[in-house]
Amino acid sequence: MVLLRHISVALTAAVTAVGAALFVAVNLLYKRRVWTPEDYYVFKEEEEEQRERQVLVLGLDGAGKSSVLQGLSGAASCKRRCKPTRGFNFIRLHTPACQLDFLEIGGGEDLRVYWADFLRRTHILVYVVDSSDRSRLPVAKDELHRLLRVDTQLPVVILGNKQDKPNAVSVPELRDALSLGSVADQRKLFLLSLQLGSVGATAACSLQSLQDLLLKLA
């Protein structure tokens, strides 16, 4: 009987020790995690800030893709002349809502064949068109519609760049030249004008409108 009593006491002590260890471990892991409404909203805001959205920037060579990214990043003046992108260009834009990662791919004929391969991991497509290069608008249209056929759901923002040039086509003319009227109504497709060569205020206004739209789509 004495032996059984000692065994019972030992088992009780062992169970108590295991329970205590588990309690300590749980408390160390969760650190008294009691959520208040304020904590919930802070957590949600931190979660939103960590969101990443991929923005693919395409367009024919010379359309002004790098100038657009330069203007958005604020790293340099929009009036600075950019060298043509031979391969890839990348910038990251941090905003309170999310992080926008811009990937620009060169618009040379040898690179256009790879454009569609990058649509799969993209959240928004930005397609830049040189409004003053009237002779290549048909090529810009064909390349755009090839991309639209690859992914029928991807939101698309078309930038009619270089609107400050004297020979640039107007926005309605650009809409017709790119055959945007043939795009399905339910698709998220937007056409904006840009004047990056203008005096600061106009360029800043254009870029702010672009950034606001991208954040809404993100």
| Tens-digit pLDDT profile for residues 21-63 | 443 343 443 333 333 334 434 444 444 445 889 999 999 999 9
The least confident of 58-62, 85-89, 185-189, 192-196 is 85-89
- Mean confidence (pLDDT) of the chain: 77
Q: What does the pLDDT look like over 86-114, one tens digit per residue?
A: 678 999 998 888 899 999 999 999 999 99
Inform me whether the pLDDT recorded for 120 exceeds 70.
yes
Residue 55 has what pLDDT?
96
**Residue 84 — pLDDT band, cuts 50, 70, 90?**
low
Share of the chain above pLDDT 70, in %: 67
Residue 141 has what pLDDT?
97
Pick the more confident residue, 82 or 165.
165
Inform me whether the pLDDT recorded for 134 exceeds 90.
yes
Instruction: Please answer whether residues 153 and 217 qualify as being in contact, where contact means their C-beta atoms are separated by less than 8 angstroms.
Output: no
Residue 34 has what pLDDT?
37
Strands of 156-161's sheet in order across: 88-94, 99-105, 52-58, 124-130, 156-161, 189-193
| Residue written as token pair 């059984």 | 4
Residue 208 has what pLDDT?
87
Alpha carbon distance 189, 91 (integer Å):
23
pTM of the full structure: 0.73
